[in-house]
Amino acid sequence: MSKLPEIIRRNEEQIRAAWVSQVSSAVRRSDLMSDREFQGQSRELLTSIVEGCESGDIVHLDSAAWGHARELLNSISASRATQGFKTSETATFVLSLKQPLFHAIRKELASSPDALFDELWNATLLVDKLALITSDSFLASREQFILRQQQEMLELSTPVVKLWEGILALPIIGTLDSARTQVIMESLLGAIVQTNSRVAIIDITGVPTVDTLVAQHLLKTITAARLMGAECIISGVRPQIAQTIVHLGIDLGQIITKAKLADAFALALQKSGRTVVKSGNSSPALSAKSEPAKER
Amino acid sequence: MKSLRRETVPIKNSSDVVAARQKVRHWAQELKFTLVDQTKLVTAASELARNTLDHGKGGEMSIDVVEDLSRTGLKLSFEDQGPGIPDIAAALRDGFTTGSGMGLGLGGSKRLVNDFEIHSEVGKGTRVCVVRWK
Amino acid sequence: MERIPILRMGNFLLVTIQVDMHDRLALQLQDDLTQSIAEWGSTGVLIDISSLEIVDSFIGRMLANIAAMARVLDAETVVVGMQPAVAITLVELGMSLSGVRTALNVESGMELLYELRGNFRPESADEISQA
């Protein structure tokens, strides 16, 4: 049984004071955190470490007794991440607990070198593990932040345009992966509902390559739109894309594809029962006459 | 993964399947999942609950609110003591079958969630656990 | 036992699904609809699912079955009002419901049915009755 728990308990205040004072100013970052906050954080953390040690198990830090300490380490890490601390600064903060701990251990076990060695080893293992918890936690919250930003960028990059009454255009720029497809589907379907559209033109001029995966994503999007009563036309199919599609054996089924957006638009107008006629005026302005769908 | 809250509901008949769906919807709403994510999770629950009933001869579903580092999620576990699944790989492959087949249940549900785990032993039973993270 | 009501509008049948259906209720609807189509000689069926927040593979199959059975009885089926989240989920699930016609709402759905099966429009409310 490790003597570490009782050593820490007996010397708690000295350890804490030594820990706090010896955190170098570089790591302390008083520009980012007030003195009171810092004192509070260290006191709470040391108390939770004592709590964990009381369980007697200083090896398995995922047990319930260490729950409080883990929680604290995670929240310290997360809040420091948003405050602008570097991950090494937070880890160093925890690691600098070693020296005061070692002092306390040497004080208590000076006369028994073997026990001294054992407890030093236990202490170093413990503090290393605690520091690693903060690193993992820090990285996790940064990743979450980056994911959120990516999400925002995705949403901004898929505009849906209303070309005419009941006709939408969705220009896709860049590659189409599964995350992007989800966002595109949501935007498109939302727009279909809002504008009561029956035709959506998906323009893929800005999509560099169309392989089987991209085709699958396109098909998913088109199927989702169809479930809501809207038909899709793919436009912007470059000759090379047409070749790739054939080479890969991709089956687009009933989906109509056009090379030019203009042709797709003309087709869309036709499908919604409209024709474009030249008006009799001297200015060759285009006017689109609307004809209701013919009844049989 | 740490479980913060847990609730278990029986799946013994088709009304239980409806009740299970509504329970999952309630929890997903409470955790403020987006509408699409809610719908995906509830639909997966419906598929898996139905499997538990039809193929597993009845069982139970547990809902856990789970936490992993800095993210929160909802974990659903479906357990039965039914005949088990002899060929899991085949069951996961999409196939549209009527009657007692798995149909789109397993393979489809897998696509609706983030984490998917299945254990099954012929003659002993099946357990399927899925997680959707916020 | 509870049943989902089927309304008759001239030659068309209108069904609005507003409850979270359990399996028996869904199968009952399938039966009732095919019965009604045969009995009334209906040429069109409109199924409004705008209140359904969940459509899983069972309900999806039910819709596909209804469309197929109606076709055998020479009637067209249009499913209207699928919610966006539901559509996205169905597609992810792997269901395309390719044999089922769809429209955005009841109005568009009716227009589509008239296009397909051109019929008289009900002039008065008397024409609308419970099937």
What average pLDDT does this structure show over B78-102?
71
* Cα gap A199→A211, rounded to integer Å: 25
Q: Which domain holds residue A14?
A: 4-148
Neighbours of chain B (3+ CB pairs under 8 A): A, C
| 3-class secondary-structure state, position B29 | helix
Q: Which of C1, C51, C57, C98 to mutate to test the interface with B (most CBs of B within 10 A)?
A: C57
With beta carbons under 8 A apart, name residues in chain A contacting C63.
none
Q: Which of A196, A198, A228 is closest, CB to CB, to C87?
A: A228
> Rounded to a whole number, what is the distance in angstroms from the first to the last CA of chain B?
14
The pLDDT value given to residue C65: 94
A47 vs B: CB within 8 A: no
Q: Which of residues 172-201 of A touch C (CB under 8 A)?
A: 182, 185-186, 189-190, 192-193, 196, 198
Q: Which of C1, C65, C89 to mutate to test the interface with B (most CBs of B within 10 A)?
A: C89
| 3-class secondary-structure state, position C19 | coil
Q: Do A137 and B70 touch (CB under 8 A)?
A: yes
Q: Which of C22, C85, C94 is closest, CB to CB, to B39?
A: C85
Task: Spell out the per-residue pLDDT of chain A, length 296, in tens.
Answer: 678 888 888 888 888 888 888 776 656 677 777 777 777 888 888 888 888 888 877 777 878 888 888 888 888 888 777 777 777 888 888 888 898 889 888 888 888 888 889 889 989 999 999 999 888 888 887 788 888 888 777 766 778 999 999 999 999 988 888 888 998 999 999 999 999 999 999 999 988 888 888 998 999 999 999 999 999 999 999 888 888 888 888 888 888 999 999 999 999 999 888 888 888 766 555 555 555 544 44
Does C128 fall in a domain?
no
Does C2 fall in a domain?
no
Q: Which residue of C has its CA nearest to A218?
A: C91
Does A295 fall in a domain?
no
With beta carbons under 8 A apart, name residues in chain C contacting A226.
96, 102
Mark which of A148, A180, A200 sits at the end of a domain.
A148
**pLDDT range class, residue C113, cuts 50, 70, 90:** very high
User: Do A135 and A181 fall within a single domain?
Assistant: no
Q: How many helices (H) and strands (E) does chain B have?
A: 4, 5
The pLDDT value given to residue B90: 80
CA distance A167 to chain C (A): 14
Query: CATH second-level architecture of B2-133?
Result: 2-Layer Sandwich (3.30)
Q: Do B94 and C94 touch (CB under 8 A)?
A: yes
CA distance A296 to chain C (A): 6
With beta carbons under 8 A apart, name residues in chain C contacting B110.
none
* Cα gap B9→B11, rounded to integer Å: 7
User: Do A183 and A124 fall within a single domain?
Assistant: no
* Cα gap B42→A79, rounded to integer Å: 33
With beta carbons under 8 A apart, name residues in chain C contacting B23.
none
| A vs C: CB pairs below 8 A | 60
Q: Do C56 and B43 touch (CB under 8 A)?
A: yes
The pLDDT value given to residue C120: 53
For chain A, what is the domain count? 2
Does C22 fall in a domain?
yes
Q: Is the pLDDT of residue B96 over 70?
A: no
CB A185 within 8 A of CB C79: no
* Cα gap B113→B128, rounded to integer Å: 12
A182 vs B: CB within 8 A: yes
Measured in residues, chain C has a length of 131
Does A296 fall in a domain?
no
In this structure, what CATH number is given to the domain that contains residue A113? 1.10.490
For chain C, what is the domain count? 1
Least confident of A134-143, B109-118, C39-48, C77-86: A134-143
User: Do A221 and A253 fall within a single domain?
Assistant: yes
Does C125 fall in a domain?
no
* Cα gap B104→B97, rounded to integer Å: 8
A140 vs B: CB within 8 A: yes
**pLDDT range class, residue B101, cuts 50, 70, 90:** very low
Mark which of A148, A173, A205 sits at the end of a domain.
A148
Does A155 fall in a domain?
no
A144 vs B: CB within 8 A: yes
Q: Which of residues 183-202 of A touch B (CB under 8 A)?
A: 186
In this structure, what CATH number is given to the domain that contains residue A213? 3.30.750.24
User: Do A16 and A103 fall within a single domain?
Assistant: yes
Q: Which domain holds residue C32?
A: 15-117
With beta carbons under 8 A apart, name residues in chain C contacting B108.
57, 92-95
The pLDDT value given to residue A179: 84
Does A16 fall in a domain?
yes
B69 vs A: CB within 8 A: yes
DSSP letter string over chain A?
--SHHHHHHHTHHHHHHHHHHHS-HHHH-TTTS-HHHHHHHHHHHHHHHHHHHHTS-SS-TTSGGGHHHHHHHHHHHHHHHHHT--HHHHHHHHHTTHHHHHHHHHHHHTT-HHHHHHHHHHHHHHHHHHHHHHHHHHHHHHHHHHHHHHHHHHHHT---EEEETTEEEEEEES---HHHHHHHHHHHHHHHHHHT-SEEEEEEEE-----HHHHHHHHHHHHHHHHTT-EEEEE---HHHHHHHHHTT---TT-EE-S-HHHHHHHHHHHTTEEEEE-SSSS--EEEEE-PPPP-
In this structure, what CATH number is given to the domain that contains residue C106? 3.30.750.24
CB atoms within 10 A of CB A157: 13
With beta carbons under 8 A apart, name residues in chain B contacting C88.
36, 39-40
* Cα gap C79→A227, rounded to integer Å: 9
The pLDDT value given to residue C1: 61
Does C31 fall in a domain?
yes
Q: What whole-number percentage of chain C has pLDDT above 70?
A: 89
Supply the pTM of this predicted model. Answer: 0.71
User: Do A86 and A197 fall within a single domain?
Assistant: no
To the nearest 10 degrees (0 to 180), the angle between helices A35-54 and A12-22 is 140
User: Do A58 and A104 fall within a single domain?
Assistant: yes
Least confident of A162-166, A212-216, B74-78, B104-108: B104-108
> Rounded to a whole number, what is the distance in angstroms from the first to the last CA of chain C?
17
Q: Do A227 and C82 touch (CB under 8 A)?
A: yes
Does C131 fall in a domain?
no
Q: Which amino acid is at A152?
A: E
Q: Which amino acid is at A142?
A: R
The pLDDT value given to residue A2: 74
Q: Do A295 and C104 touch (CB under 8 A)?
A: no
User: Do A169 and A142 fall within a single domain?
Assistant: no
Mark which of A148, A177, A197 sits at the end of a domain.
A148
The pLDDT value given to residue A287: 53
The pLDDT value given to residue A227: 95
The pLDDT value given to residue B97: 46
Does A153 fall in a domain?
no
- Per residue in C64-112, pLDDT (tens digit) is 999 999 999 999 999 999 999 999 999 999 888 988 999 999 999 999 9
Q: Which of B15, B42, B104 is closest, CB to CB, to C94?
A: B104
A293 vs C: CB within 8 A: yes
Does C37 fall in a domain?
yes
Q: Which of B36, B70, B71 is closest, CB to CB, to A186?
A: B36
The pLDDT value given to residue B4: 80
Neighbours of chain A (3+ CB pairs under 8 A): B, C
Residue matched to tokens 């479930």: A227
Does C27 fall in a domain?
yes
User: Do A185 and A209 fall within a single domain?
Assistant: yes
